[in-house]
Amino acid sequence: MLSHVLANNPRVGYAHQTDLIGPATSNGADYGYTILTLINNMLSQYQSWTSAPLVQMTDVTDAQTLAEQSAWATANTAGTVKASETNGVVTVTNSGTSTVSVPVTAAAGTTEGTASWGTTYGSSQSDWVSLAPGASLTLTEHVAPTIISANTASSIVGLAFSDTIYTNGYPAPAITETGALPTGLTFVDNGNGTATLSGTPATGTGALYPITITATSSSGTTTQAFSLTNSGAPTITSPGTATFANGGVV
């Protein structure tokens, strides 16, 4: 029963009527209702792993889903349906000679054109999409940004330095920073979901620079605590000469 649920298998499960008889007792112990106890245990296991709801099916929807799954398995084996994603735009195309019902799942907030698409399930949206021969489906995912590059970097006073901040999400977020930087370094948003921290740190700026990087788009905002270690080569700052008198204390 649990394997059917986890495998998205809609086949009907059967139980003998006698399994509903209960509560079952043995030596004075109550063992509950056989099938109902089994179902409850299965649900407890399922709910301990995921919060995605179970969908109640009827004989009609069960038969429809099995037919769609069978047709999709055939089309998938033939390789006539392809999907690709570029910068949050998902394109599904049917290059075959017959109409195919394609199962598609995308991130919450996905749209088809300007309209909301699919049915919300758990934290995503999904639907069976009927694609005629040569037809395609184009979806735009709206994914909250995350900063995926390292949160530390090291520069050296007097030497050219460059570090790129990378993010993902759609649309591409604007990236800003707050906090002091060494003189000579600048932070530039490249407008494509990346930003560059670069320049040549000026003399005397050796120190640890904690800054905050923020990525913001219409899908959300995220921040990262970033540490730049700007190292300076050792210098001797005391005078290069000394004068003292014979017999005196230096």
What secondary structure, in 3-state letters, does 32-86 show?
CCHHHHHHHHHHHHHHHHCCCCCCCCCHHHHHHHHHHHHHHHHHHHHCCEEEEEE
Span 46-74, pLDDT tens digits: 999 888 888 888 889 889 889 989 989 98
- Whether the CB-CB separation of 97 and 68 falls below 8 Å is answered with no
- Please tell me the predicted confidence (pLDDT) of residue 84: 92
In this predicted structure, what is the pLDDT of residue 23? 67
pLDDT at 249: 66
The pLDDT assigned to 151 comes to 97
> What residues form DSSP beta bridges with 81?
94
What's the pLDDT at 32? Answer: 67
**Every domain of the chain and the residues it spans:** 79-141, 144-231
pLDDT for the residue 132? 94
What pLDDT is stored for residue 160 in this prediction? 96
pLDDT the model gives residue 169: 84
Give 131-160 pLDDT, tens digit per residue.
999 999 999 888 889 999 999 999 999 999
Q: Which two tokens stand for residue 202?
A: 């000026």
Residue recorded with tokens 């993902």: 168
pLDDT at 248: 65
The parts of the chain modelled with pLDDT lower than 50 are none
Give pLDDT, residue 107: 83
Backbone Cα Rg of the chain: 31
Q: What's the pLDDT at 170?
A: 81
Look-up of token digits 């109409």 = 99
Residue with tokens 């921040």: 223
* Pairing mode, strands 124-131 and 100-107: antiparallel
Please report where in the chains the tokens 């670069």 appear, as a residue.
Answer: 198
Question: In the CATH hierarchy, which fold is given to the domain comprising 144-231?
Answer: Immunoglobulin-like (2.60.40)
Instruction: Give ∠ CA 36-40-44 in degrees, rounded to 5.
Output: 170
pLDDT at 39: 87
